[in-house]
Amino acid sequence: MSYDLTGKIVLVTGASSGIGEACARAFAAAGAKLILAARRMKRLQALAAELKAPTYLIELDVRDQPAVQRAIDGLPAEWQAVDILLNNAGLSRALTRLHQYDISDIDEMVDTNVKGLLYVTRAVAPGMVARQRGHIINIGSIAGHATYPNGAVYCATKAAVKSISEGLKLDLNGTPVRVSSVDPGLVETEFSIVRFHGDKARADQVYDGMRPLTGADVADVVLFCATRPPHVNINDVVMMPVAQSSTGLVYRQPLPGVS
Ligand code: NDP
Ligand code: 8X3
């Protein structure tokens, strides 16, 4: 029997766009209550207005550890018992040789993808252990499984997410708290626009001639992980568009039945 999400409290970081927004929509459709966190509050407000689900919004920069702790400690009583944490907030900046990388780009990726994810996990997981109930789902990447040229920093952050997911599962052994990682390949979101600092034309080239995953495709898998019966833990799911077979191998011509 699958795990019923009705009335469950789901905290989604990076809910203002892309995969996080799609997951918020999917959890809401499954009957969950949503805590939506991101820096762009207007985006969260617009999403909340569309969702037919109770929502609580947090304007949050996951890089700010005291703010993360304050946000979790300050949740209203009826929102405190978070059942599912989706650690999704993250980004890439540039594609550059490591010895030439902007220090600010390095800092932003490491601070968001690694330290931010750790801060949110560190703030939310103790409550799950105390309640003997919960599920932490991290959005990793195929970049955490295979490093590509000019992507050392982003790939390292996603390799760190893989290690954190593995380590968290080990450290939560003996509790019923579950840990999953969903690791996608190319997903068309605002990811590449952010990577290339707003250069939309360059971002579009990433998906040129092929059919990428959508946020909704990833949300399907996240929901699958979240709805397994309580004795089942999905540890790691790697998913790619059918036109992609590795970080560097993408087929950019029509595929029968696909595009
Ligand atoms: P988007 O750029 O569309 O969304 C990124 C989200 O992260 C936004 O909601 C943004 O919100 C949030 N975010 C970024 N920095 C911070 C911060 N400091 N504090 C809080 N929230 C933050 O990209 P995706 O949806 O594609 O990315 C979501 C996750 O998926 C990332 O972890 C990414 O690494 C991962 N991923 C993406 C893939 C892809 O090809 N698109 C493939 C594999 C993994 P705001 O700016 O409002 O704060
Ligand atoms: C995002 C996918 O291949 O651009 O994690 O690194 S990739």
Write the pLDDT tens digit of every residue in 156-209.
999 999 999 999 999 999 999 999 999 999 999 999 999 999 999 999 999 999
- Mean pLDDT throughout 127-143? 98
Q: Which residues of 32-47 are buried (b: 16+ CB within 10 A; e: fewer)?
A: bbbbbbbeeeebbeeb
Residue 107 alpha carbon to ligand 2 centre in Å: 18
Pocket mutation for ligand 2, best pick of 141, 202, 208, 249 (most atoms within 8 Å of C-beta)? 141
What is the structure's pLDDT at 125? 99
Burial category of 116 from C-beta neighbours within 10 Å (exposed 0-12, middle 13-18, buried 19 and up): buried
Could you tell me the domains of the chain?
9-239 (3.40.50.720)
CA dist 47 and 146 (Å) reads 34
pLDDT tens per residue across span 23-78: 999 999 999 999 999 999 999 999 999 999 999 999 999 999 999 999 999 999 99
Is residue 154 annotated as part of the catalytic site, yes or no?
A: yes
**Pairing of β 178-184 and β 135-139:** parallel
| Residue 31 near residue 53, CB atoms below 8 Å | yes
| Burial per residue of 155-171, b for 16 or more beta-carbon CB atoms within 10 angstroms, e otherwise | bbbbbbbbebbeebbee
Is 37 strand, coil or helix? strand
> Minimal CA–CA distance to 135: which of 10, 224, 2?
10
Q: Of 3, 56, 101, 154, which one is the catalytic site residue?
A: 154
Whole-structure pTM value: 0.99
CA of 189, nearest ligand number: 1
